[in-house]
Amino acid sequence: DQQVKQNSPSLSVQEGRISILNCDYTNSMFDYFLWYKKYPAEGPTFLISISSIKDKNEDGRFTVFLNKSAKHLSLHIVPSQPGDSAVYFCAINDMRFGAGTRLTVKP
Amino acid sequence: SAVISQKPSRDICQRGTSLTIQCQVDSQVTMMFWYRQQPGQSLTLIATANQGSEATYESGFVIDKFPISRPNLTFSTLTVSNMSPEDSSIYLCSGSGPVEQFFGPGTRLTVL
């Protein structure tokens, strides 16, 4: 029973453009949705979260959108930078993670 | 925020042996967790480490295979018992913040 799905295993964008990472979930009974970033040989680090009562949360270059009717979550990074190249995981607050999307930002 | 360290960072072990991974948090956290990340896959929650009592295991994980201790609020251990090559994975511990989790750097285990 995979409650969090990231259907795109990888994404490649040009530096300066927008990166959009997507996540779908199956159960509506959660308080928070979170995005984590993971570099090789490191543990995941928290990036941004959104409460289930909101539809948007912004922090600098990172914005998370929540579409509750579609049970869809997206992370927008703009402008994308080469240092953003990492694996991004979405997660729900009962500690379940999506499969991850590997983002590559090309200079 | 919390800073989490793990020991060892990596190990290569023989089939049938056991390895204990240590996790230290620099501040008190309410909850600590252990995850496994197999090659090319997501993070899978193994168990919640409870202070002073038995860990709470997720479906598919059992105490005999993955005994966990948490003697205080800042320290926990995970043992991978009677290892087989299928146990080759990255093992991560985490501590809970108000909303997010803080992760250790992971222990890369290879079982031959």
Closest approach of chain B CAs to the CA of A43, in angstroms?
Answer: 4
Yes or no, beta carbons of B106 and A45 under 8 Å apart = no
A30: region left, alpha or beta (phi > 0 left; psi from -120 to 50 alpha):
beta
Confidence band of B94 (pLDDT split at 50, 70, 90): very high
Least confident of B19-23, B87-91, B98-102: B98-102
Q: What average pLDDT does this structure show over B28-44?
A: 89
Q: Hey, how many other C-beta atoms are within 10 angstroms of the C-beta on A13? A: 19
Output the pLDDT for position A2.
66
Yes or no, beta carbons of B42 and A98 under 8 Å apart = yes
Give the CATH number of the domain where residue A52 resides: 2.60.40.10
Q: Residue B76's beta-bridge partner residues? A: B23
- CA-to-CA distance for B34 and B23, rounded, in angstroms? 9
Mean pLDDT estimate for chain B: 94
Which residues in chain A touch residue B94, judged by CB atoms under 8 angstroms apart? 43
Give per-residue pLDDT as tens, A8-26. 999 999 999 999 999 999 8
Domains of chain B, each with CATH number or no CATH: 15-105 (2.60.40.10)
A33 lies within 8 A of chain B by CB: no
With 0-12 / 13-18 / 19 or more C-beta atoms within 10 angstroms meaning exposed / middle / buried, residue A81 is middle
Domain count, chain A: 1
Closest approach of chain B CAs to the CA of A25, in angstroms?
Answer: 15
Structural domain harbouring A14: 4-106
Q: What is the CA radius of gyration of chain A?
A: 13
Q: Residue A87's beta-bridge partner residues? A: A38, A102
